[in-house]
């Protein structure tokens, strides 16, 4: 295995470097909480805020992109996929229109 060159290290550092800035205002109460957290943790304000943003963004993404189903709902979904209902005339017309529009000739 080859050792990492300084050029590769520089490239990786540029890819992960923090280059974006954000400015916002805090209430006195929230600023005090942040100062206490910094003092207790020994971390920087930037690190704490960045971590909080990353956690909240991940939470929002999970809520929007992942579907959580109860066991009953999952069973119903799997049953519908395994045994779909017969096509209705309206569905057949819709499929025909889609094929006319999008299928390669």
Predicted model pTM: 0.51
- Cα(34)–Cα(41) distance, rounded to whole angstroms? 10
Question: pLDDT by residue (tens digit) across 3-60?
Answer: 556 666 655 655 678 888 999 899 999 999 999 999 999 999 999 999 999 999 999 9
Return the structure tokens found at 80.
């519908």
Question: pLDDT by residue (tens digit) across 71-105?
Answer: 999 999 999 999 999 999 999 999 999 999 997 76
68 phi and psi angles, rounded to 5 deg = -105, 120
Rg (CA), the chain: 26
Return the structure tokens found at 29.
């109460």
CA 48 vs. chain centroid, Å, equals: 20
């Amino acid at each position: 295995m080859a050792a990492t060159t300084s050029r590769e290290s520089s490239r990786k550092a540029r890819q992960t470097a923090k280059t974006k800035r954000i400015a916002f205002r805090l209430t006195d109460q929230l600023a005090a909480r942040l100062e206490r957290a910094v003092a207790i943790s020994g971390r920087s304000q930037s690190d704490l805020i960045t971590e909080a943003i990353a956690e909240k963004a991940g939470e929002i993404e999970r809520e929007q992109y992942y579907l959580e189903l109860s066991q009953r709902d999952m069973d119903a979904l799997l049953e519908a996929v395994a045994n779909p209902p017969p096509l209705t005339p309206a569905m057949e017309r819709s499929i025909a229109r889609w094929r006319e529009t999008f299928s390669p000739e």
